[in-house]
Amino acid sequence: MSAKPDLKIVLCSPRGFCAGVVRAIDTVERALDKYGAPVYVRHEIVHNKYVVDGLKKKGAIFVEELAEIPENTTAPVVFSAHGVPKSVPADAQSRNLFSLDATCPLVTKVHREAAIHFKRGREIFLIGHSHHPEVVGTLGQLPAGAVTLIETAEDAKTIAPQDPNNLAFVTQTTLSIDDTAEIVALLKERFPNINGPHKEDICYATTNRQLAVKKVAPVVDALIVVGAPNSSNSQRLREVAEREGCKIAVLAQRAADIDWDKFGNLTSLGITAGASAPEVIVEEIMDAFAERYTLHVETVSAAEENEFFPLPRQVRPEAAAE
Protein backbone atom coordinates (compact mmCIF):
# COMPACT_ATOMS: atom_id res chain seq x y z
CA MET A 1 0.00 0.00 0.00
CA SER A 2 1.52 3.33 -1.08
CA ALA A 3 2.18 6.00 1.53
CA LYS A 4 -0.29 8.87 1.68
CA PRO A 5 1.00 12.20 0.35
CA ASP A 6 1.79 14.96 2.86
CA LEU A 7 -0.63 17.85 3.30
CA LYS A 8 -0.04 20.95 5.37
CA ILE A 9 -3.28 22.11 7.00
CA VAL A 10 -3.32 25.76 8.08
CA LEU A 11 -6.14 26.46 10.51
CA CYS A 12 -7.38 30.05 10.69
CA SER A 13 -7.86 31.45 14.17
CA PRO A 14 -10.27 32.68 15.28
CA ARG A 15 -12.88 30.63 13.43
CA GLY A 16 -16.32 29.22 14.12
CA PHE A 17 -18.83 30.24 16.77
CA CYS A 18 -18.90 33.85 17.96
CA ALA A 19 -20.37 35.04 21.26
CA GLY A 20 -23.68 36.03 19.62
CA VAL A 21 -24.13 32.57 18.09
CA VAL A 22 -23.26 30.82 21.36
CA ARG A 23 -25.81 33.02 23.14
CA ALA A 24 -28.53 32.25 20.57
CA ILE A 25 -28.01 28.47 20.60
CA ASP A 26 -27.77 28.44 24.40
CA THR A 27 -31.05 30.39 24.60
CA VAL A 28 -32.90 27.65 22.70
CA GLU A 29 -31.22 24.85 24.66
CA ARG A 30 -31.88 26.50 28.04
CA ALA A 31 -35.52 27.12 27.04
CA LEU A 32 -35.89 23.42 26.13
CA ASP A 33 -34.34 22.41 29.48
CA LYS A 34 -36.45 24.83 31.52
CA TYR A 35 -39.82 24.72 29.76
CA GLY A 36 -39.65 21.43 27.84
CA ALA A 37 -40.46 20.79 24.17
CA PRO A 38 -41.61 22.27 21.98
CA VAL A 39 -39.78 25.57 21.77
CA TYR A 40 -40.69 27.55 18.66
CA VAL A 41 -37.93 29.45 16.86
CA ARG A 42 -38.74 32.14 14.31
CA HIS A 43 -36.30 31.68 11.41
CA GLU A 44 -33.15 29.55 11.68
CA ILE A 45 -31.62 30.48 15.04
CA VAL A 46 -28.29 30.78 13.18
CA HIS A 47 -27.53 29.95 9.55
CA ASN A 48 -26.19 26.44 9.96
CA LYS A 49 -28.06 23.24 9.04
CA TYR A 50 -26.08 21.05 11.47
CA VAL A 51 -26.98 23.33 14.39
CA VAL A 52 -30.63 23.66 13.33
CA ASP A 53 -31.03 19.90 12.81
CA GLY A 54 -29.47 19.24 16.24
CA LEU A 55 -31.95 21.59 17.92
CA LYS A 56 -34.88 20.04 16.01
CA LYS A 57 -33.93 16.64 17.46
CA LYS A 58 -34.09 18.16 20.95
CA GLY A 59 -37.59 19.55 20.37
CA ALA A 60 -37.19 22.94 18.67
CA ILE A 61 -39.72 23.75 15.94
CA PHE A 62 -38.56 26.28 13.36
CA VAL A 63 -41.07 28.58 11.66
CA GLU A 64 -40.64 31.49 9.28
CA GLU A 65 -43.57 33.50 10.63
CA LEU A 66 -45.45 33.65 13.94
CA ALA A 67 -48.68 32.78 12.09
CA GLU A 68 -47.38 29.18 11.87
CA ILE A 69 -47.42 28.87 15.68
CA PRO A 70 -50.64 27.37 17.12
CA GLU A 71 -53.08 29.62 18.96
CA ASN A 72 -53.10 29.53 22.77
CA THR A 73 -49.70 27.81 23.04
CA THR A 74 -47.74 28.36 26.23
CA ALA A 75 -44.49 27.23 24.55
CA PRO A 76 -41.67 29.78 24.35
CA VAL A 77 -40.98 31.51 21.03
CA VAL A 78 -37.35 32.47 20.33
CA PHE A 79 -36.37 35.25 17.92
CA SER A 80 -33.20 34.39 15.98
CA ALA A 81 -29.74 35.94 16.38
CA HIS A 82 -30.28 38.07 13.25
CA GLY A 83 -32.91 40.29 14.86
CA VAL A 84 -36.51 40.93 13.84
CA PRO A 85 -38.63 43.90 12.72
CA LYS A 86 -40.49 45.67 15.54
CA SER A 87 -43.76 44.26 14.20
CA VAL A 88 -42.75 40.73 15.25
CA PRO A 89 -42.51 41.23 19.05
CA ALA A 90 -45.62 43.43 18.81
CA ASP A 91 -47.48 40.58 17.09
CA ALA A 92 -46.17 38.10 19.69
CA GLN A 93 -47.42 40.36 22.50
CA SER A 94 -50.85 40.78 20.90
CA ARG A 95 -51.15 36.97 20.82
CA ASN A 96 -49.85 36.61 24.41
CA LEU A 97 -46.93 34.50 23.21
CA PHE A 98 -44.04 34.01 25.63
CA SER A 99 -41.09 35.32 23.61
CA LEU A 100 -37.33 35.13 24.17
CA ASP A 101 -35.15 37.51 22.19
CA ALA A 102 -31.89 35.86 21.05
CA THR A 103 -30.91 38.82 18.83
CA CYS A 104 -27.14 39.30 18.91
CA PRO A 105 -26.36 42.33 21.10
CA LEU A 106 -24.19 43.75 18.30
CA VAL A 107 -27.22 43.71 15.98
CA THR A 108 -29.30 45.36 18.72
CA LYS A 109 -26.60 48.07 18.86
CA VAL A 110 -27.22 48.82 15.15
CA HIS A 111 -30.99 48.98 15.80
CA ARG A 112 -30.40 51.53 18.58
CA GLU A 113 -28.09 53.64 16.41
CA ALA A 114 -30.71 53.76 13.65
CA ALA A 115 -33.42 54.76 16.17
CA ILE A 116 -31.25 57.62 17.54
CA HIS A 117 -30.54 58.95 14.03
CA PHE A 118 -34.26 58.80 13.24
CA LYS A 119 -35.11 60.71 16.44
CA ARG A 120 -32.63 63.39 15.40
CA GLY A 121 -34.40 63.75 12.06
CA ARG A 122 -31.63 62.32 9.89
CA GLU A 123 -32.09 60.43 6.65
CA ILE A 124 -30.54 56.99 7.22
CA PHE A 125 -28.56 54.73 4.88
CA LEU A 126 -28.17 51.05 5.73
CA ILE A 127 -25.20 49.34 4.07
CA GLY A 128 -26.14 45.68 3.66
CA HIS A 129 -27.64 42.91 1.53
CA SER A 130 -31.35 43.05 0.75
CA HIS A 131 -33.50 40.16 2.02
CA HIS A 132 -30.89 39.06 4.57
CA PRO A 133 -32.82 38.61 7.84
CA GLU A 134 -30.54 41.01 9.70
CA VAL A 135 -31.23 43.74 7.14
CA VAL A 136 -34.97 42.99 7.18
CA GLY A 137 -34.89 43.34 10.97
CA THR A 138 -32.96 46.62 10.92
CA LEU A 139 -35.20 48.15 8.23
CA GLY A 140 -38.19 47.07 10.32
CA GLN A 141 -37.11 49.09 13.37
CA LEU A 142 -38.36 52.31 11.78
CA PRO A 143 -41.29 53.47 9.65
CA ALA A 144 -41.26 52.50 5.96
CA GLY A 145 -39.06 54.86 3.95
CA ALA A 146 -36.98 56.07 6.92
CA VAL A 147 -34.01 53.89 5.91
CA THR A 148 -32.55 53.49 2.41
CA LEU A 149 -30.56 50.35 1.62
CA ILE A 150 -27.15 50.68 -0.04
CA GLU A 151 -25.82 47.36 -1.38
CA THR A 152 -22.96 48.36 -3.69
CA ALA A 153 -20.37 51.05 -4.37
CA GLU A 154 -22.48 52.00 -7.38
CA ASP A 155 -25.43 52.67 -5.06
CA ALA A 156 -23.20 54.92 -2.95
CA LYS A 157 -22.15 56.87 -6.05
CA THR A 158 -25.68 57.46 -7.32
CA ILE A 159 -27.92 57.78 -4.25
CA ALA A 160 -29.67 61.15 -4.09
CA PRO A 161 -30.74 62.08 -0.53
CA GLN A 162 -33.27 64.81 0.21
CA ASP A 163 -30.85 66.74 2.44
CA PRO A 164 -27.14 65.94 1.87
CA ASN A 165 -26.24 67.71 5.14
CA ASN A 166 -28.54 65.68 7.39
CA LEU A 167 -27.52 62.06 6.84
CA ALA A 168 -26.40 59.03 8.82
CA PHE A 169 -25.36 55.47 8.01
CA VAL A 170 -25.36 52.12 9.79
CA THR A 171 -24.21 48.74 8.46
CA GLN A 172 -25.09 45.07 8.58
CA THR A 173 -22.72 43.35 11.04
CA THR A 174 -21.53 40.55 8.71
CA LEU A 175 -20.20 42.41 5.67
CA SER A 176 -16.83 42.38 3.92
CA ILE A 177 -14.55 44.84 5.73
CA ASP A 178 -12.99 46.00 2.44
CA ASP A 179 -16.24 46.37 0.47
CA THR A 180 -17.83 48.30 3.33
CA ALA A 181 -14.79 50.57 3.73
CA GLU A 182 -15.05 51.44 0.02
CA ILE A 183 -18.76 52.27 0.31
CA VAL A 184 -18.24 54.33 3.48
CA ALA A 185 -15.37 56.23 1.84
CA LEU A 186 -17.59 57.08 -1.15
CA LEU A 187 -20.39 58.29 1.12
CA LYS A 188 -18.03 60.44 3.20
CA GLU A 189 -16.50 61.91 0.06
CA ARG A 190 -19.92 62.83 -1.34
CA PHE A 191 -21.48 63.83 1.99
CA PRO A 192 -18.75 65.12 4.34
CA ASN A 193 -21.24 65.79 7.16
CA ILE A 194 -22.67 62.25 7.20
CA ASN A 195 -22.93 60.71 10.70
CA GLY A 196 -21.51 57.21 11.20
CA PRO A 197 -21.27 54.82 14.13
CA HIS A 198 -18.84 55.73 16.95
CA LYS A 199 -17.58 52.16 16.81
CA GLU A 200 -17.58 50.02 13.67
CA ASP A 201 -20.90 48.20 13.06
CA ILE A 202 -19.20 45.21 11.43
CA CYS A 203 -18.87 42.84 14.36
CA TYR A 204 -15.60 41.80 15.96
CA ALA A 205 -16.10 38.16 14.89
CA THR A 206 -16.63 39.00 11.22
CA THR A 207 -13.59 41.29 11.28
CA ASN A 208 -11.30 38.80 13.04
CA ARG A 209 -12.25 35.86 10.80
CA GLN A 210 -11.63 37.93 7.68
CA LEU A 211 -8.23 39.08 9.00
CA ALA A 212 -7.20 35.46 9.65
CA VAL A 213 -8.24 34.44 6.11
CA LYS A 214 -6.23 37.36 4.70
CA LYS A 215 -3.14 35.93 6.41
CA VAL A 216 -3.71 32.33 5.30
CA ALA A 217 -5.24 32.57 1.80
CA PRO A 218 -2.09 33.80 -0.02
CA VAL A 219 0.09 30.94 1.31
CA VAL A 220 -2.12 27.86 0.64
CA ASP A 221 -3.18 25.98 -2.52
CA ALA A 222 -6.84 25.97 -1.48
CA LEU A 223 -9.09 27.14 1.35
CA ILE A 224 -12.30 25.65 2.72
CA VAL A 225 -14.80 27.80 4.59
CA VAL A 226 -17.05 25.69 6.78
CA GLY A 227 -20.40 27.42 6.54
CA ALA A 228 -23.84 27.56 4.95
CA PRO A 229 -24.67 29.18 1.59
CA ASN A 230 -27.15 31.53 3.32
CA SER A 231 -24.57 32.60 5.93
CA SER A 232 -23.45 36.12 5.03
CA ASN A 233 -20.27 36.05 7.11
CA SER A 234 -19.25 32.65 5.64
CA GLN A 235 -19.77 33.84 2.06
CA ARG A 236 -17.67 36.92 2.81
CA LEU A 237 -14.81 34.67 4.05
CA ARG A 238 -14.84 32.78 0.74
CA GLU A 239 -14.79 36.08 -1.20
CA VAL A 240 -11.91 37.39 0.94
CA ALA A 241 -9.89 34.24 0.21
CA GLU A 242 -10.46 34.64 -3.54
CA ARG A 243 -9.55 38.32 -3.38
CA GLU A 244 -6.31 37.49 -1.55
CA GLY A 245 -5.26 35.20 -4.42
CA CYS A 246 -6.33 31.75 -3.27
CA LYS A 247 -7.11 29.80 -6.47
CA ILE A 248 -9.55 27.36 -4.87
CA ALA A 249 -11.83 28.82 -2.20
CA VAL A 250 -15.04 26.94 -1.47
CA LEU A 251 -17.86 26.79 1.05
CA ALA A 252 -18.66 23.40 2.62
CA GLN A 253 -21.44 22.58 5.08
CA ARG A 254 -20.13 19.04 5.72
CA ALA A 255 -17.28 16.79 4.57
CA ALA A 256 -19.69 15.17 2.10
CA ASP A 257 -19.81 18.49 0.19
CA ILE A 258 -16.12 18.34 -0.78
CA ASP A 259 -15.48 17.88 -4.50
CA TRP A 260 -12.39 15.68 -4.36
CA ASP A 261 -11.61 16.32 -8.05
CA LYS A 262 -10.87 19.92 -7.05
CA PHE A 263 -8.69 18.87 -4.13
CA GLY A 264 -6.61 16.19 -5.84
CA ASN A 265 -3.04 17.52 -5.86
CA LEU A 266 -2.72 19.78 -2.85
CA THR A 267 0.34 20.39 -0.73
CA SER A 268 -1.34 22.94 1.56
CA LEU A 269 -4.92 23.67 2.61
CA GLY A 270 -6.40 26.49 4.70
CA ILE A 271 -9.51 25.83 6.79
CA THR A 272 -11.74 28.34 8.52
CA ALA A 273 -15.34 28.37 9.71
CA GLY A 274 -18.03 31.04 9.65
CA ALA A 275 -19.34 32.43 12.92
CA SER A 276 -22.33 30.06 12.92
CA ALA A 277 -20.38 26.86 12.06
CA PRO A 278 -19.46 24.41 14.85
CA GLU A 279 -15.91 23.13 15.37
CA VAL A 280 -17.12 19.52 15.07
CA ILE A 281 -17.51 20.04 11.30
CA VAL A 282 -13.97 21.43 11.00
CA GLU A 283 -12.82 18.20 12.66
CA GLU A 284 -15.03 16.11 10.34
CA ILE A 285 -13.45 17.77 7.28
CA MET A 286 -9.93 17.29 8.65
CA ASP A 287 -10.73 13.59 9.23
CA ALA A 288 -11.85 13.31 5.59
CA PHE A 289 -8.51 14.74 4.42
CA ALA A 290 -6.63 12.51 6.89
CA GLU A 291 -8.01 9.46 5.05
CA ARG A 292 -6.26 10.65 1.88
CA TYR A 293 -3.23 12.55 3.19
CA THR A 294 -0.73 12.56 6.03
CA LEU A 295 -1.64 15.81 7.78
CA HIS A 296 0.74 18.38 9.25
CA VAL A 297 -1.37 20.93 11.12
CA GLU A 298 -0.50 24.49 12.12
CA THR A 299 -2.60 27.44 13.26
CA VAL A 300 -2.34 31.06 12.11
CA SER A 301 -3.93 33.54 14.50
CA ALA A 302 -5.18 37.04 13.75
CA ALA A 303 -6.73 37.94 17.11
CA GLU A 304 -7.66 36.68 20.55
CA GLU A 305 -11.37 36.49 21.34
CA ASN A 306 -12.90 36.38 24.81
CA GLU A 307 -16.25 38.12 24.27
CA PHE A 308 -19.24 36.89 26.24
CA PHE A 309 -22.89 37.96 25.99
CA PRO A 310 -25.29 37.12 28.86
CA LEU A 311 -28.38 35.08 28.05
CA PRO A 312 -31.89 36.58 28.02
CA ARG A 313 -32.93 37.08 31.65
CA GLN A 314 -35.71 34.45 31.54
CA VAL A 315 -33.27 31.59 30.83
CA ARG A 316 -30.27 32.63 32.90
CA PRO A 317 -29.34 30.04 35.54
CA GLU A 318 -29.93 32.55 38.37
CA ALA A 319 -33.50 33.10 37.11
CA ALA A 320 -34.36 29.60 38.36
CA ALA A 321 -33.40 30.57 41.90
CA GLU A 322 -35.50 33.74 41.99
Binding site residue list: 18, 47, 82, 104, 132, 173, 203, 231-233, 276
Binding site as annotated, residues for isopentenyl diphosphate: 47, 82, 132, 231-233, 276
Buried b (16+ CB within 10 A) or exposed e, 77-100: bbbbbbbbbeebbebbeeeebebb
Strand partners for 315: none
| Helix, strand, coil shares, percent, the chain, to 5 | 40, 20, 40
Active site residues: 134
Task: Say whether 141 sits in a helix, a strand or coil.
Answer: coil
| Cβ(122)–Cβ(101) below 8 Å | no
Q: C-alpha distances in angstroms, 91 versus 67, 69, 232?
A: 9, 12, 27
| Cβ(222)–Cβ(270) below 8 Å | yes
Phi, psi for 168 (deg, rounded to 5): -150, 160
Binding site as annotated, residues for dimethylallyl diphosphate: 47, 82, 132, 231-233, 276
Binding site as annotated, residues for [4Fe-4S] cluster: 18, 104, 203
| E-assigned strand segments in the chain | 6-13, 39-42, 60-63, 76-79, 98-101, 123-127, 147-150, 167-171, 222-226, 248-252, 268-273, 294-301
Which amino acid is located at 72 in the chain?
N
Q: Which helix (H) or strand (E) holds 113?
A: helix 105-119
Task: Say whether 314 sits in a helix, a strand or coil.
Answer: helix
